[in-house]
Structure 1
Amino acid sequence: MVIVGGGSCGSVLAARLSEDPACSVLLIEAGAGGAVRGPSPAHILPIGPGSPRTRHYATTLRRGVAGALVRGCGLGGSGAVNGAYFVRATPADLDAWGSAVGGRSGRTGWSYGDTLPYFRRSEDDYDFGSSALHGDAGPVPVSRRTAESWSTVTARFVAAAGAMGFHAEPDKNAGGPAGVGPVPCNIDRGMRVDPGSAYLGAAARRPNLTVWAGTTVRALRTAAGTVHAVEVVRDGALLEVQAHNVVLAAGAIETPALLWRSGIGDPRMLGAAAVHALPGVGREFSDHPEITIPYNPAPPAGEQVSEECAAPPILEACLNLDSGDGAVEIRPYTASFGDAVPGNPPMPSVLGAALMSPWGRGRMVPHPADPWGAPRIEHHYLSDPRDKAAAAAAVDLARGLLDAAGLGAVIDGVPPRLGTSQHLSGTCPMGADPGTAVVDPRCRVHGLGGLYIADTSVFPRVPSRGPHATAVMLAERAAEFVASGLR
């Protein structure tokens, strides 16, 4: 068994599949460093210029607006460098997913009821413990900052949202109505515990699990409709590793790029290099556009803040809204991204307004001249008139909350800025039709034996909450599908 990618999903897969001592697992990760790094300070985002733990990709957010995508590199992947939000997709998201892939229930269903056991299995919820909705024995610690320990920014924001009539949402992983409340985080005592350290920490010592870090997978080798090997570069040498089964967990950018390099994708794009037609690779994707509103922080008003707030995570609480105009998330960041990201220049404080169920879809295509070059990525943000209207309404709401909370004044002459939430999803979507989908409901690549995909690239669309907990759930479930295929 070969797993390509040691990020959030690859770590889960390697740990779960190697629980069977009869299953030999090779985990291949392009990032350097073969050891699990362990927990890291949650208030620091090590994603700045020159960070050895990230890869940066250029994108066009909308016509004339350039942007950058950041992906974690190394064991733990993006889960080791992100904001540590561990929020589940909503029941409505998951029921729509189940319907989209051909069924709301059953062993291959993806409805809320189908997936809840895997969310519970992944977590150790410090606040709600074991219940019908939560687990207390999983590898990932989940906690929420209490109101007594909130930073001034968070406390003022939550109070203002309540005064404006938005109801409280004390548990954003309970599947209840959207509102304002604490963000569930994979944090333990101020430290980010990513899936790499949570799942691989103990599993790495198993004799049937081998980890190759600093190793690049060049291509998949196929014959007679089956993947039988991966071609890799390791320590400067080109090797071919035989494999009865391969699971791609390289992420929503590198997974489709590897498929294209292997001749798998739309023949109209790949031309003579095509060996297996799957037009859905990179055909469209979704992500959460975010408009940030810069402001000058108001001076403290004598609030008593606990010492625990000296270094809060960058997001302690947020406001979620689900309406006919689409889901919106307002994010009161506790620090500027100049302070939270080492290597960044000074930046103003910002309040974020994100569209969590955008209508617009992006497109990714291979590099036109170099199969090893970064794919060409276009987000097409706000290309749909409904998204433009929703964005304008979200910015108005955010400005109103900024004023009501007394957080500070909008900086004159500095307009809101369009960015991305870094939640790219759906570049190899799940579905029943191989004309548009890339994997079936059991994460098997259509028409190719021995090949699975299990990362956010298979989401039919980005969830209306941050995708990290849902990605871990996907990997938990995919590990069962792969294991059953080995029997």
Structure 2
Amino acid sequence: MPDPTFDYIVVGAGSAGCALVERLTRDGKTRVLLIEAGGSDRRFWIKVPIGYGVNFANPRLNWGYHAEAEETLNGRRIYWPRGKVIGGSSSINAMAYMRGLPHDFDDWEAAGATGWSWAAVQPAFDRIERRLERSADGKPREQGAGLLTISDLRDQMNPFSQRFLAAAQDCGWPACDDLSRTLGESVGYYRSTVRHGLRFSAADAFLTPARRRPNLQVVSNAMVERVLFDGSRATGLTYRVGDQTMHVTAGREIILCAGAVNSPKLLQLSGVGPASLLRGLGVTPLHHLPEVGRGLQDHLAISYMYRATQPTLNNILGRVPPRLLAGVRYLMTRRGPLSVPVNQVGGYVQSTPDTTRPDMQIYCNPLSYWNAPDGRPLLDRDPGYLLCAQLCRPTSRGEITIRSADPRAAPLIRPNSLATPYDQMGARRAIDIINRLATSPALAGVTQARLIPDPGQTDTDALMDDFRQRASTVFHPTSTCRMGHGPADSVLDGRLRVHGLSGLRVVDSAAFPAVTSGNTNAPTIMLATRAAEMILEDAITGADKRRLAHAP
């Protein structure tokens, strides 16, 4: 039998897939095929940091999913955008870079993800990062030798953001210089995946250098339909480009990096998952693994909108003449309001004196806007700002399931929001945190009124009703193919291998045993980097075993 064309086939050119293939192809010899459902990321509004709002609902860049209606959220079907483009969600996200907190990863290990404690993952974060900082004289300086640029953009942020830091001080929350690497409660300026005024996605950081190597092939605009098996070993897959169906085989492994929504979907389409579910939808069960698609977690956040008495970004972006001037400045210098993401200040805070760990993440934006029914953000013309809060570590768990055997059909997304008393109390504490910030002297002194929710809504029950009516995902789905002790409680082992099968791994946020305390892009990239190292180690070990088996 001739050797297959590729050693590894990677599905999904998002945050995980891009980081993974860069490491796998570094030797120039290991043959890798990367398959992506979306197209090119070479678009102006992808590269411009403030363009996040433009891409939010663009069907050319986005799967455009919606969750199923949830009674706990007043029967709403919440919009769930996921990147469908080279770079995946790292090409359309808000660019906030947050590692998470040490206990997030220690809890992973306790849940059965052996080798994923904070002590194990911290060096991996260090390896992937290259930090653009500002020295005392204002000049940029680089720290670290990683491929992913993390930038300190405070010198380009709107002056109103300083009010948020003052409000945090009023609330008694400690300040930090580098929020992305904080180890506990602290508030500061967000670090961003931006380089020299342009979005620096996982594709920019990892795929661009990898594409120069002859041992990587990238196929875009290709829909993977199913993984193929020889017994219990994954050997290849089928994918469709236009009207043409392609079959491809891998000599070593198939690696799913399609994300927390699409990785479990693809496993289920391939016959790996809850046997009764698959059989009922016309998919022949090949390997009964009941936890595939289960365990879904996400961050659920609420935002409040205020009218300010001092200028904010609305004075620039909400009106045509200053917006045009900002555009000209950006085109000439790559600086100014368009060069900075909308999330500018935030952090981890403890919502009550009796909490022992930060349990809330806050976002403070010097820009007021609301979302149209189709998901597009609509800017306010007059000065305003937003305050947002989310529970760091929710305990509710939902699920992802296919709805039919048709690969083109969107999966069913059931977040199961506010399913536990802890999460219900967390919603109330998120409301309290926002009100605490807004009524601090530093913000109250520059606030004219609360616009959303209606200022007449003041009692706890009315504000909780508002939470159920308006709260939404902040696009951090995880844990649908989580690592754990075994097939009874998880899908993967600590080396990201699917239980009971060989030649198949899942390497993306679906593998998280639980959602981290903050934004999930950074830990996803870290996970993929460590996974690549494990995969290469296992390949060497496997080759040694084969040599010994054939030794005289």
Do they fold alike, i.e. is TM over 0.5? Answer: yes
Measure the CA separation in 2 of the matches of 1:212 and 1:142.
Answer: 28
1:3-22: per-residue Cα shift (whole Å, max 9, x none)?
00001110111111111222
Measure the CA separation in 2 of the matches of 1:36 and 1:196.
Answer: 13
1:169 aligns with 2:176: yes
Alpha-carbon spacing, 1:412–1:345, altered in 2? closer, same or farther (3 Å): closer
Match of residue 32 from structure 1: 39
Q: Which runs of 4+ in 1 moved over 6 A?
A: 34-39, 339-343
Match of residue 300 from structure 1: 311
- State the Cα distance separating 1:448 from its structure 2 match: 1.1
1:335 aligns with 2:387: no
| 8 Å contact from structure 1 (residues 222, 228) kept in 2 | yes
**Which one-letter code corresponds to 1:231 in the other structure?**
T
Match of residue 269 from structure 1: 277
Match of residue 548 from structure 2: none
Match of residue 159 from structure 1: 166
| 8 Å contact from structure 1 (residues 62, 383) kept in 2 | no
1:186 aligns with 2:239: no
Measure the CA separation in 2 of the matches of 1:479 and 1:328.
Answer: 32
Match of residue 4 from structure 1: 11
Match of residue 111 from structure 2: 100
Equivalent in 475, 479, 483 of residue 426 of structure 1? 479
Match of residue 520 from structure 2: 467
Measure the CA separation in 2 of the matches of 1:215 and 1:143.
Answer: 33
| 8 Å contact from structure 1 (residues 44, 341) kept in 2 | no
Equivalent in 521, 526, 535 of residue 482 of structure 1? 535
- State the Cα distance separating 1:436 from its structure 2 match: 2.1
User: What aligned pairs does 1:375-386 form with structure 2 within 5 A after superposition?
Assistant: 375-386=411-422
Measure the CA separation in 2 of the matches of 1:260 and 1:208.
Answer: 30
**Which one-letter code corresponds to 1:138 in the other structure?**
G
Match of residue 74 from structure 1: 85
Alpha-carbon spacing, 1:485–1:319, altered in 2? closer, same or farther (3 Å): closer
TM-score if structure 1 supplies the norm length?
0.90
User: What aligned pairs does 1:36-47 form with structure 2 within 5 A after superposition?
Assistant: 40-45=47-52, 46-47=54-55
| 8 Å contact from structure 1 (residues 425, 459) kept in 2 | yes
- Equivalent residues, number: 474
User: What aligned pairs does 1:223-234 form with structure 2 within 5 A after superposition?
Assistant: 223-234=230-241
**Which one-letter code corresponds to 1:11 in the other structure?**
C
Measure the CA separation in 1 of the matches of 2:248 and 2:228.
Answer: 9
1:237 aligns with 2:290: no
SS at match of 1:395: helix
Alpha-carbon spacing, 1:36–1:470, altered in 2? closer, same or farther (3 Å): farther
Equivalent in 337, 342, 353 of residue 310 of structure 1? 337
| 8 Å contact from structure 2 (residues 101, 517) kept in 1 | yes
Equivalent in 125, 129, 132 of residue 126 of structure 1? 132
Measure the CA separation in 1 of the matches of 2:365 and 2:276.
Answer: 44
**Which one-letter code corresponds to 1:91 in the other structure?**
P
Task: Give the structure with higher Rg (CA).
Answer: 2
User: What aligned pairs does 1:366-377 form with structure 2 within 5 A after superposition?
Assistant: 366-367=402-403, 370=406, 372-377=408-413
Measure the CA separation in 2 of the matches of 1:137 and 1:198.
Answer: 12
Match of residue 56 from structure 1: 64
Structure 1, 75-84 or 313-322: larger mean CA deviation: 313-322
SS at match of 2:427: helix
Equivalent in 334, 342, 351 of residue 387 of structure 2? 351
- State the Cα distance separating 1:150 from its structure 2 match: 3.2
Match of residue 106 from structure 1: none
- State the Cα distance separating 1:33 from its structure 2 match: 3.2
Equivalent in 450, 473, 477 of residue 503 of structure 2? 450
Measure the CA separation in 1 of the matches of 2:195 and 2:156.
Answer: 14
1:290 aligns with 2:318: no
- State the Cα distance separating 1:36 from its structure 2 match: 9.9
- State the Cα distance separating 1:456 from its structure 2 match: 0.2
- State the Cα distance separating 1:151 from its structure 2 match: 1.5
**Which one-letter code corresponds to 1:441 in the other structure?**
G
TM-score if structure 2 supplies the norm length?
0.80
**Which one-letter code corresponds to 2:521 in the other structure?**
H
1:211 aligns with 2:225: no
| 8 Å contact from structure 1 (residues 285, 426) kept in 2 | yes
Q: Which runs of 5+ in 2 are unaligned?
A: 1-7, 136-141, 317-325, 330-334, 455-465, 541-552
Measure the CA separation in 2 of the matches of 1:337 and 1:263.
Answer: 44
Measure the CA separation in 2 of the matches of 1:3 and 1:43.
Answer: 31
Match of residue 120 from structure 2: 114
- State the Cα distance separating 1:449 from its structure 2 match: 0.9
Measure the CA separation in 1 of the matches of 2:373 and 2:529.
Answer: 31
